[in-house]
């Protein structure tokens, strides 16, 4: 029987913590040749000390792992991995936060040279119940949870014990077959990422069957890019992001602060993270909203007015 590369699909709604799990996996692969497929290199924010070399489609790490961009064609990216002189031992595939893992797992699990190993869905302990009841995205979030073989319950350090018990019981109601594993700051057992423990999480012929029907329409998402006219004040920016309308589901991007340094900006719900990053050539922040939510053009204008740094002549700094 020809050996096939095991592939694990990692899904979850916007901001659930998928990329943090992947970062920890890349840094702690322990000598395993691991390949990670992602839509966006920028979001992964790989430790520069791990990077051996990089181009537009692949980042090779000095621990034997690689991070590859999916681009427009998942199948093409998978075939490129099998064509390598030394193929990876396993593949982790991060889906978009607004995609259905069942459909992606079905494709990846049947692609020549691969077998589906596990479907892991990240669930934000603070917000997943609200997301699941949202009139615009609720059915998508519920579908993601039902597709899971393992639910990675993230951000449990932000809730108390009673709330954690409640969310655990609620998740059991959504998917009684899934294993629920608590994870803080992306710490997740590698054997579960691989599905390589004695209690196999999946079989080569198994793919999740639960998904929104092809005849039904998923939620509508709107996104807008904010490219500030100048540098931004980090504290003003944080304040503005904390005051965004509830309908803004996710913000992420890299900007330039008043000192000319880069800022990695990520936000979901009322939680905003602003950290140091390499200064980008083109600063940009992406805002994503679901359904008939807030007017993102107005939100962008608000950020431009209140978060950018005035120049001495009273105009916005144009760098």
Question: Tens of pLDDT along the chain (319 residues)?
Answer: 467 899 999 999 988 999 888 888 888 777 788 898 987 666 666 767 778 888 878 888 888 888 888 877 889 889 989 888 888 999 999 998 888 899 999 999 899 999 998 899 999 999 999 999 998 899 999 999 999 999 999 999 999 999 999 999 999 999 998 989 888 887 777 767 765 433 434 444 445 555 544 444 455 678 889 999 889 999 999 999 999 887 787 888 899 999 999 998 988 766 788 988 888 888 999 888 866 667 889 999 999 999 998 654 445 554 4
pLDDT of residue 136: 87
pLDDT of residue 312: 45
Same domain, yes or no: 26 and 80: yes
Same domain, yes or no: 142 and 235: no
Range of the domain at 228: 221-307
Please report whether residue 46 resides in a domain.
Answer: yes
Same domain, yes or no: 88 and 229: no
Angle at the Cα of 267 (from 265 to 268), degrees rounded to 5?
165
Please report whether residue 204 resides in a domain.
Answer: no
Q: Please name the helix (run of DSSP H) or strand (run of DSSP E) that holds residue 168, with its range, or none.
A: helix 161-174
CATH number of residue 238's parent domain? 3.30.1220.10
Please report whether residue 315 resides in a domain.
Answer: no
User: For the chain, what is the largest distance between any 2 Cα atoms, rounded to a whole number of angstroms?
Assistant: 73
pLDDT of residue 291: 64
Same domain, yes or no: 83 and 149: yes
Same domain, yes or no: 163 and 252: no
Same domain, yes or no: 258 and 185: no
What's the pTM? 0.77
Same domain, yes or no: 134 and 275: no
Positive or negative, the Cα torsion across 132, 136, 137, 140?
A: positive
Same domain, yes or no: 23 and 159: yes
Q: Which of the listed residues 178, 194, 210 is the one where a domain comes to its end?
A: 194
Please report whether residue 91 resides in a domain.
Answer: yes
pLDDT of residue 42: 62
CATH number of residue 142's parent domain? 3.40.50.300
pLDDT of residue 153: 95
Phi, psi for residue 128 in degrees, rounded to 5: -65, -35
Give the total number of structural domains in the chain: 2
Same domain, yes or no: 155 and 28: yes
Q: Which of the listed residues 153, 179, 194 is the one where a domain comes to its end?
A: 194
Same domain, yes or no: 27 and 101: yes
Same domain, yes or no: 79 and 41: yes
pLDDT of residue 272: 85
Q: Which of the listed residues 144, 178, 194 is the one where a domain comes to its end?
A: 194
Please report whether residue 130 resides in a domain.
Answer: yes
Same domain, yes or no: 173 and 294: no
């Amino acid at each position: 029987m020809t050996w096939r590369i095991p592939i694990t699909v990692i899904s979850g709604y916007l901001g659930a913590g998928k990329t943090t799990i992947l970062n920890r996996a890349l840094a702690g692969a322990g000598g395993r040749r691991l390949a990670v497929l992602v839509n966006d290199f920028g979001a992964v924010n790989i430790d520069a000390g791990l990077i051996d070399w990089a181009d537009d489609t692949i980042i090779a790490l000095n621990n034997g792992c690689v991070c590859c961009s999916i681009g427009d064609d998942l199948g093409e990216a998978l075939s490129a991995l099998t064509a390598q002189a030394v193929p990876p031992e396993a593949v982790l595939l991060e889906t978009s936060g607004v995609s259905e893992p069942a459909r992606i797992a079905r494709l990846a699990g049947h692609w020549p040279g691969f077998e589906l190993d596990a479907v892991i869905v990240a669930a934000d302990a603070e917000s997943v119940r609200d997301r699941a009841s949202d009139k615009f995205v609720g059915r998508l979030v519920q579908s993601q949870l039902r597709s899971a073989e393992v639910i990675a319950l993230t951000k449990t350090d932000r809730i108390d014990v009673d709330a954690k018990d409640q969310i655990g019981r609620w998740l059991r109601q959504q998917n009684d077959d899934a294993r629920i594993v608590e994870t803080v700051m992306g710490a997740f057992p590698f054997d579960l990422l691989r599905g390589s423990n004695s209690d196999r999480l999946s079989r080569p012929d198994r793919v999740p069957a639960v998904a929104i029907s092809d005849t039904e329409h998923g939620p509508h998402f709107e996104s807008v890019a904010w490219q500030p006219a100048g540098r931004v004040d980090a504290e003003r920016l944080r304040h503005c992001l904390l005051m965004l309308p509830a309908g803004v589901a996710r913000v992420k991007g890299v900007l330039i602060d008043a000192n000319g340094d880069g800022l990695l900006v990520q936000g979901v719900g009322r939680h905003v993270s602003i950290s140091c990053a390499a200064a980008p050539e083109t600063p940009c922040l992406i805002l994503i909203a679901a359904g008939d939510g807030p007017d993102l053009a107005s939100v962008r204008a608000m950020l431009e007015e209140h978060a950018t740094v005035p120049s001495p002549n009273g105009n916005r700094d144009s760098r």
